Chains A and B, each alone.
Chain A
């Protein structure tokens, strides 16, 4: 293995690719949490997005339908969560867990006939530039459109939350639902929208895995990425740009351990595979140690049930 400059370029490119599902899911969940809703169903929504995207690709042979369909399926499944937590006022944690268990089961059931079918190649953009420019080529070019979208998303999310009126509404609902409601904002409606948006992004994150990253359907293929995305939101202290940084760090760890496995590093494979999970714990400990900092950034009403007497 030569550590020349073009190899590092390829390495960075692959780190970016592996961080995409984390960026998408965490950015979506970030908006949901900013509105005061804690949806622990990220893993379930991602896996549903993964199977629906793949199934639609096999059935319709149209990647556009597959991508849009995966987002729609994320919306539909998050609607269950929205209805329960917002209309029936159920506990956010328990409902999110139910969503994950349900989603994993349902995806395996739906995916029964899609195991072992090879995926279709997803078109990549600027493939000629990727080869011709050393170092920057593999970093900037030759990716799928979803990757470019994912890397723009944290900046868009940041702009939305800080510069737009709607963003202010979302933050107001998350920080002080009672005063927002008194201002005439429909708190429940805003929260519904944020939940469905989170569902769409998680669905897309799942589809990225099954259509682009490893184009095939494997049961449980999200492998805990949904949970890591949830941890990323805490890690980022609810700031979109930090989500991007965190996702790249985790993408880096994933790629690093794959490379260490490939070159026959003398540490058992399982220990390397455990690295991203252990890193998540360590990062959470480091971030959460300062409880004031966490409290300052946490949406004040996160996970609390809002009920307006009619």
Chain B
């Protein structure tokens, strides 16, 4: 017999443990999908989750993909903690990459130590400005930020498409939809010879530390957390709600912009149509899986980055389309949300004997 009781308070240990339950359930669910598709599930899962990181190169690729995910998710955690549903990080990433890439293209034939910092700064500002659009519309026109931020994703991708096909396309590029290569001074320094992992990872780590400091050690962080828990309390306490909405969106946009600039100055080295495999959307899952906690997000970004790598490996070895990655990511979030049930309800399995004793 199963008995369900409402919990009075959420046990912290369980709060950080349920993401692991979600990951295990996702792997099991993935096995079932592979079985239905006609693959040996154990072998397929091995190709998916173990083969990609079984060597040094694979591990560096994991860090490479985790970097933008971690950066964006850190930014999103500010929005989500304060109940602001910014789901357009993909657009902020794209616009950040456009602005940063534009600066990099200005210096395409120049070298200098000052170029990379300028490019990075431009990217962050670009993302910030783009995130301000839904924020300003929300604060001053009461407009739904979910829909506005999402619509802007399509707008930013079309703008990028226009630029790389039109005015910014490489004059010596035989009409390929891409810009010139950036100069070496606009590229993120590589950390190791032969591996693609670059200095952008330090940006992500800095964002983690800074966000921990802001969220847990400053008045702003306190305001953000209180507004997330209860808007009424926040109003009663006299917090400036509008300013806070603008600030969390700016932080979130800047992080997404940095992620975009990290991609184009890191592994890509120019602008073209496909600068992000939907990192901006996947980072939403990373933020939740990491429990909106800076250190949880590091862990979650590695797990979710593995679904990208696994999808690529499975595509090569098993000819499974790489979209399985998205299926896994969707499943992680489903299972995570489902396992939250355990946080709010106690599921007791009573044996029949005990029951009889009671009667």
Contacts and interface: CB of A to CB of B under 8 A. Distances in A.
**Chain A partners chain B:** yes
Q: Chain B's interface: helix, strand, loop or mixed, by majority?
A: helix
A227 interface: yes
A271 B162 CA distance: 8
Nearest to B284: A97
Interface stretch (B202-210, B255-263, B335-343): B335-343
B337 A268 contact: no
Contacts of B323: 104-106, 108-109, 219
B147 A230 contact: yes
Interface string A219-230: 100011001101
B162 A105 contact: no
Nearest to A309: B6
Interface in A138-187: none
A105 B147 contact: no
A25 to B, nearest CB: 14
B326 A284 contact: no
A285 to B, nearest CB: 5
A266 interface: no
Contacts of B324: 105, 109
Interface in A194-235: 219, 223-224, 227-228, 230-231, 234
Contacts of A99: 330
Contacts of B341: 88-90
B332 to A, nearest CB: 8
Q: Chain A's interface: helix, strand, loop or mixed, by majority?
A: helix
Nearest to A43: B150
Interface residues of B, number: 46
Contacts of B150: 224, 227
B212 interface: no
Given A98-B285, A277-B154, A106 B338 contact: no
Interface residues of A, number: 48
A270 interface: yes
Nearest to A234: B144
A108 B324 CA distance: 8
Given A101-B333, A105-B326, A284 B147 contact: yes
A111 B217 CA distance: 49
B331 interface: yes
10 contacts: A84-B337, A90-B338, A91-B337, A105-B328, A108-B323, A227-B151, A281-B143, A284-B137, A284-B144, A310-B4
Interface of B: 4, 6, 85, 87, 137, 141-144, 146-148, 150-152, 154-155, 158-159, 161-162, 165-166, 281-282, 284-285, 288, 320-321, 323-331, 333-334, 337-338, 340-341, 344
